[in-house]
Structure 1
Amino acid sequence: MALTLYVDTARWRAHQQSVIQQFPGMVPVCKGNGYGFGHDRLAEETTRMGSDILAVGTTYEAARMKDTFSGDLLVLTPFRRGEEPVPLPDRVIRSVSSVDGVYGLVNARVMIEVMSSMKRHGVTEEDLPKLHAAIENVRLEGFAIHLPLDRTDGSDAVEEVLFWMDRLRAARLPLHTMFVSHLKADELARLQQQFPQTRFRARIGTRLWLGDHDATEYRGSVLDVTRVAKGDRFGYRQQKTAGDGYLVVVAGGTSHGVGLEAPKALHGMMPRAKGVARAGLATVNRNLSPFSWAGKQRWFAEPPHMQVSILFVPSDVAAPQVGDELVASLRHTTTQYDRILDR
């Protein structure tokens, strides 16, 4: 009995191919928990699609993946002097976001990140003249820009990249390769048209692996079903049931990521109103679970346990049976499944 990730492999791979066709020279990204699929699985998929490079989040991820992927490994976290040294092969490319960082990577392969409107990290326009001397002692793989997902000010992503291309060209820095993130296919084509001598490589993770929502599905196995009457006490905290129904124990708890949620940026009155409503229900121990049964998302009977969740199913609904599976709406990047099955 397990929390299982089912993958419609043919559909999943067909989506991958559609992304590859839209973004020639794409750099697949595999970081964190491997977008829910795991590092080994995505390394295999990247090899299968014929990519010469795979981007990872950290040096520790690169060290783990060097034996499962034989191409170049691009580390997205910028190098910092004083970081813990991790033994890595020469085919690893390090991201750098400062002039000092470039000086700290003598003879290494480096990709230099420029400061975008994300304002997260990157060299500034004032740093560009200082890069001439710094890049003499490294093997420069190109420059990179990490763009925001949303542009609420109405600005143009292509214009932001063009701004930096013009500044890099004016500073007489090499423009053979530019790594970009969060651009649409038509935006990438516009850039390639304006700078035909530069190779633009889109770093893509979420869109590549999770772009077709119907290609994957999480399901939790039902482990136990207990009938209860209104007022019966149950669980760790011995709360009372709100009505007649069933306590359904299903595989999937906090160790799997069930009940864990990243903060969301809310825009508009309706999403904010829903957020206030959810917060209000939580104060009276009413929390909606990610598991669905009989066409509805079911409420947690109490907070999820480490490996299982207990749900309340009212008596006017036919109860699931032990061995049934409940579909779960879970975030791939925060979920750890027990098993993955291709179908």
Structure 2
Amino acid sequence: MALTLHVETARWRAHQQTVVQQFPGIVPVCKGNGYGFGHERLADEAARFGSDILAVGTTYEAARIKDFFSGDLLVLTPFRLGEEPVPLPDRAIRSVSSVEGVRGLVGARVVVEVMSTMKRHGISEEDLPKLHAAIEDVRLEGFAIHLPLDRTDGSDAVQEVAAWMDRLGRERLPLHTMFVSHLKAEELAQLQQRYPQTRFRARIGTRLWLGDHGATHYTGAVLDVTPVSKGDRFGYRQQKTGGDGHLVVVAGGTSHGVGLEAPKALHGMMPRAKGVARAGLATMNRNQSPFYLDNKQLWFAEPPHMQVSILFVPSDARTPRVGDELKAQLRHTTTTFDRIVDK
């Protein structure tokens, strides 16, 4: 009885191949929780389609995954002076976003991140002249730029990368490889044609692993079903039921990521109105769960527990049985499953 990730394996891998073909030299990204699949599984998939490199989020992830992937490991979090040292093999490549960071990695393999309109981290244009001396003491694997997902100002992603290519070129810095994030296939092709002497490598995670939404889904197993009448008390806080029906205990709780939600950027009146409505219902202890019965979303009876959730099924709905699987709509990047089933 578990929270299960179901994968239509052939379909999932067919989508991977489509993305790999669209982005020659792709750098698959395996960070965080492994996009819901886990690090070991994605390392195996990357090796399966022949990748020579795998990008991870942190040095700690690199240390965990090094025994499951034999190619290069690109650490995306920039090196910081004074950080805790983590033993890594020579095939690990560190990202750096400052001249001081480059100087602190003498002899290491390094990718220098430049500052994009993301304004998250990256070396500035003003610091480029200082790079000449610094990169003499490292093994420079290339430069990188992490672009925003949305461009509400109408700016052009290709032009942003091109502007940095021209800046690096004017400083006579090596331009053999540029790692990029969040470019479309046609945009990458434009850049490759414009700068044929440079190899552009797209770092891709979400589009590669989660681009075909129909290839995966989650289910939670029904563990218990208890009939209740209106006004019955239940649960940790002994709340009263709002009507007749059943309390359904299903696998999947906060330790799996159920009920956890990241803040969202809302645009437009309709999404904002829905957000206000959800907040209003929450003040009345009315929260929709991610679980579905007969394609209808169920309500939490109370906040999810660590490993299970208690749902309320009204009397006019079909009563699930112990052992049934309820489909769940969960965010892959925040969900940890009990098991994975390949189909």
Q: Which band: TM-score by shorter chain? A: over 0.9
2:333 corresponding residue in structure 1: 333
1:5 corresponding residue in structure 2: 5
1:30 corresponding residue in structure 2: 30
| Matched letter for residue 274 of structure 1 | K
| Matched letter for residue 306 of structure 2 | M
Residues in 2 aligned to 1:90 and 1:237: alpha-carbon distance in whole angstroms: 54
Report the TM-score when normalising by structure 1. Answer: 0.99
- Offset, 1:143: 0.2
Q: Secondary structure at the match of 2:25?
A: coil
Deviation string 1:173-223 (CA, Å, 9 cap, x unpaired) is 011000000000011011011001100000000000011111001000001
| Matched letter for residue 110 of structure 1 | V
2:238 corresponding residue in structure 1: 238
1:173 corresponding residue in structure 2: 173
- Offset, 1:321: 0.5
- Offset, 1:291: 0.1
Residues in 2 aligned to 1:232 and 1:32: alpha-carbon distance in whole angstroms: 42
1:139 corresponding residue in structure 2: 139
Are residue 106 (structure 1) and residue 141 (structure 2) matched?
no
Are residue 148 (structure 1) and residue 148 (structure 2) matched?
yes
2:277 corresponding residue in structure 1: 277
Shift >6 Å, 4+ stretches? none
2:292 corresponding residue in structure 1: 292
Are residue 264 (structure 1) and residue 264 (structure 2) matched?
yes
- Offset, 1:227: 1.0
| Matched letter for residue 199 of structure 2 | R
- Offset, 1:229: 1.1
Residues in 2 aligned to 1:285 and 1:52: alpha-carbon distance in whole angstroms: 50
Residues in 1 aligned to 2:147 and 2:310: alpha-carbon distance in whole angstroms: 41
1:312 corresponding residue in structure 2: 312
Residues in 2 aligned to 1:335 and 1:42: alpha-carbon distance in whole angstroms: 15
- Offset, 1:66: 1.1
Deviation string 1:250-285 (CA, Å, 9 cap, x unpaired) is 000111110000110000000000000000000000
| Matched letter for residue 14 of structure 1 | A
Q: Secondary structure at the match of 1:179?
A: strand
2:86 corresponding residue in structure 1: 86
| Matched letter for residue 269 of structure 2 | M
1:159 corresponding residue in structure 2: 159
- Offset, 1:86: 0.8
2:69 corresponding residue in structure 1: 69
2:218 corresponding residue in structure 1: 218
- Offset, 1:145: 0.1
Could you list the runs of 5+ residues in structure 1 that have no partner in the other structure?
none
- Offset, 1:313: 0.7
Are residue 193 (structure 1) and residue 196 (structure 2) matched?
no
Residues in 2 aligned to 1:170 and 1:103: alpha-carbon distance in whole angstroms: 22
Residues in 2 aligned to 1:97 and 1:342: alpha-carbon distance in whole angstroms: 40
How much is the aligned-residue C-alpha RMSD, in angstroms? 0.5
2:39 corresponding residue in structure 1: 39
- Offset, 1:294: 1.7
| Matched letter for residue 139 of structure 1 | R
Residues in 1 aligned to 2:239 and 2:138: alpha-carbon distance in whole angstroms: 64
Residues in 2 aligned to 1:335 and 1:205: alpha-carbon distance in whole angstroms: 16
| Matched letter for residue 82 of structure 1 | G
| Matched letter for residue 77 of structure 2 | T
- Offset, 1:232: 1.0
| Matched letter for residue 163 of structure 1 | A
Residues in 2 aligned to 1:295 and 1:111: alpha-carbon distance in whole angstroms: 47
Residues in 2 aligned to 1:188 and 1:31: alpha-carbon distance in whole angstroms: 23
Residues in 2 aligned to 1:244 and 1:137: alpha-carbon distance in whole angstroms: 72
Q: Secondary structure at the match of 2:63?
A: helix
2:95 corresponding residue in structure 1: 95
Query: What fraction of aligned residue pairs are identical, expressed as a percent?
Result: 83
Residues in 2 aligned to 1:64 and 1:4: alpha-carbon distance in whole angstroms: 23
- Offset, 1:10: 0.3
Residues in 1 aligned to 2:241 and 2:148: alpha-carbon distance in whole angstroms: 46
Residues in 1 aligned to 2:103 and 2:295: alpha-carbon distance in whole angstroms: 59
Q: Secondary structure at the match of 1:134?
A: helix
Residues in 2 aligned to 1:305 and 1:219: alpha-carbon distance in whole angstroms: 17
Q: Secondary structure at the match of 1:231?
A: coil
Could you list the runs of 5+ residues in structure 2 that have no partner in the other structure?
none
Deviation string 1:102-152 (CA, Å, 9 cap, x unpaired) is 011111100000000000000000011000111111110000000001111
- Offset, 1:72: 0.3
Residues in 1 aligned to 2:338 and 2:64: alpha-carbon distance in whole angstroms: 21
Are residue 301 (structure 1) and residue 301 (structure 2) matched?
yes
